[in-house]
Amino acid sequence: MGGVSITTTGGTEIMIKEEAIGVFRASLRGDILEPRDAQYDDSRKIWNGMIDKRPALIVRCAGVSDVLQCVRFARSHQVPVAVRGGGHNVAGYAMCNGGMVIDLARMRSVQVDPVRRTARAEGGAIWADVDHETQAFGLATTGGTVSDTGIGGLTLGGGFGWLMGKHGLTCDNLLSLDMVTADGQFRTVRATEHPDLFWAVRGGGGNFGVVTAFEYQLHPVGPVVAGMLLYPVAQAKSILAHCCDFLRTAPEELGVVAGLLTSPEGAQLCGVVVCYNGPQAAGERVLQPLRAFGTPSLDILVHSLANSPEVKKPLLETSRGGYLAAVSVSAYSLVALTRRLGPMMRRGGAVVSLTYMASERAIPGYGGGMSSAKAALESDTRTLAFEAGRAWRIRVNTISAGPFASRAASAIGIIDRMVAYCAANSPLPEALQAMDVGHAAAFLCSPLAAGITGTTLYVDKGYHSMGMAVDTAVQSPESRVPPSQSPIPNP
């Protein structure tokens, strides 16, 4: 008779019968993965690739009820528990060996109350989820320094982020939370309910329970002046000392992170990342002493086209604001980045802009002014190549990729059909891979392309050269216009 081998909280190994696992499985809306399941290995991967733990059970929860069932099952069978939120903890606390992982990754909804300036986020959300929803109302809260960090670990551990100078740590902005405690009970915890527990979870770390939802105080945020200054590592001592002196009188609207890092090509650098929450002119004034110090060093600048807020609207239905936003986020952003960062680049450096399905193709269902934005981007590539080349001796090129199923492209809504269509009809009839684009970008940034600037390079398996489809019918037979009714005369 089968079952699941578990290492108990007391350190002994026991076998939980398959019947008990079946009853547990039936109580869930989510699902259970065991080591024999195909998705098990992918589900135990976390941000730190060095962590290689093998839980006996991974329970992918769909809601609070699932979490309650998990905790109660673990109590009754003495099963050790790990809780996975964003899976970003470097020590690998999101996984365990021989126990149960309560995986909250499917619980990522975020609701914003713009009147009260609060947000309620489920325990599996990452900061990108929270920021995406809150910024729709010009609001945010202190939320880490990178977008793929889980909100759970960061909040329970205190919460260091760009806005903390003015708005405090993440835990300072925590209003309440919903949690399942170790006794298998659901509790809402706030300053007036379970105040001792509320005190503990605001920076005290884990092991107080499984948090299924957090409620945060929000603040008006944006626009911001942000970016990274890079210097040769030989300047690190003077740069870091200057940062310390600078920060003694810096305003609370400014967040700064400085340290040593290694670039993708192996160069050792000193990096200073800044984020000023306030008007651009004020941010420029505040940051001027920092930017003027030392000799920045930058070899490669990569710009990526962004979709407009009205990308799913036909061009004829696009508003003036949506049209201008498309040009701003896609074309003007390249101009702005090159203007700001060009002076920091070494002679011979490369600026590469990434776009897709360039402007000469009409794509039904993909509008919002993006066709015009991409045409402007390609035109500006030539002009920027001349101006930036003369000013700083750097190169500017654009890659126009064919369709592939990236996260950004999924916003179009028809990306799967576009991929299949182009794969069937391109001169090289196969699907484009992200690595194809990466290799082209690496070439344009390398000394091998030292003589190339002002170019739009097509990386699309030759699809841009096609005049019509060859393997896919343009129309179904029943929808074709009979020759006698066609406005086009027969030859």
Distance set, CA 379 to CA 224, 330, 374, 409, 476 (Å): 28, 12, 9, 22, 37
DSSP 33-70: E-TTSTTHHHHT--SSTT-----SEEEE--SHHHHHHH
* CA 288 from centroid of its chain's CA atoms: 29
Mean pLDDT of 284-313: 82
pLDDT at site 414 = 64
Distance set, CA 449 to CA 80, 204, 255, 300, 348 (Å): 55, 53, 37, 13, 10
Distance between CA atoms of residues 320 and 335, nearest Å: 21
Q: Is 461 left (phi over 0), alpha (psi -120 to 50) or beta?
A: left
pLDDT mean across residues, the chain: 86
- Percent of the chain whose predicted confidence (pLDDT) is above 70: 89
pLDDT digits (tens, 9 = 90+) for 199-234: 999 988 777 899 999 999 999 998 888 888 888 888
Distance between CA atoms of residues 344 and 384, nearest Å: 16
| 475 has pLDDT over 70 | no
| 288 has pLDDT over 70 | yes
What phi and psi, each to the nearest 5 degrees, are found at residue 334? -65, -40
276, containing H or E segment:
strand 268-277
pLDDT at site 9 = 80
Distance between CA atoms of residues 130 and 223, nearest Å: 17
| 59 has pLDDT over 50 | yes
| 180 has pLDDT over 90 | yes
pTM assigned to the model:
0.67
Biggest distance spanned by C-alpha atoms of the chain? 87
Mean pLDDT of 104-112: 96
Supply the residues annotated as catalytic: 356, 366
| 110 has pLDDT over 60 | yes
| List of domains in the chain | 3-103 (3.30.43.10), 110-220 (3.30.465.10), 223-296 (3.40.462.20), 297-483 (3.40.50.720)
Distance between CA atoms of residues 22 and 3, nearest Å: 10
Q: Please say whether the beta carbons of 393 and 348 come within 8 A.
A: yes
In the structure, what pLDDT confidence band is assigned to residue 481 with cuts at 50, 70 and 90?
very low
Give the CA dihedral 186, 190, 192, 194, nearest 10 degrees.
50
pLDDT at site 487 = 43
What phi and psi, each to the nearest 5 degrees, are found at residue 476? -75, 150
> Residues 367, 137, 407, 36: is their CA dihedral positive or negative?
negative
CB atoms within 10 A of CB 193: 11
Distance between CA atoms of residues 421 and 426, nearest Å: 8
Mean pLDDT of 476-484: 44
pLDDT at site 164 = 94
Q: Please say whether the beta carbons of 132 and 152 come within 8 A.
A: no
Least confident of 7-11, 157-161, 412-416, 470-474: 470-474
pLDDT at site 304 = 83
Mean pLDDT of 265-290: 88
Q: Is 381 left (phi over 0), alpha (psi -120 to 50) or beta?
A: alpha
Rank 43-47, 287-291, 407-411 by mean pLDDT and report only the highest.
43-47
DSSP 76-111: HHT--EEEESS---TT-TT--SSSEEEE-TT---EE
Mean pLDDT of 474-489: 43
pLDDT at site 449 = 93
- Percent of the chain whose predicted confidence (pLDDT) is above 90: 55
Give the CA dihedral 139, 142, 144, 148, nearest 10 degrees.
-30
Q: Please say whether the beta carbons of 311 and 291 come within 8 A.
A: no
Mean pLDDT of 469-481: 48
* CA 377 from centroid of its chain's CA atoms: 23
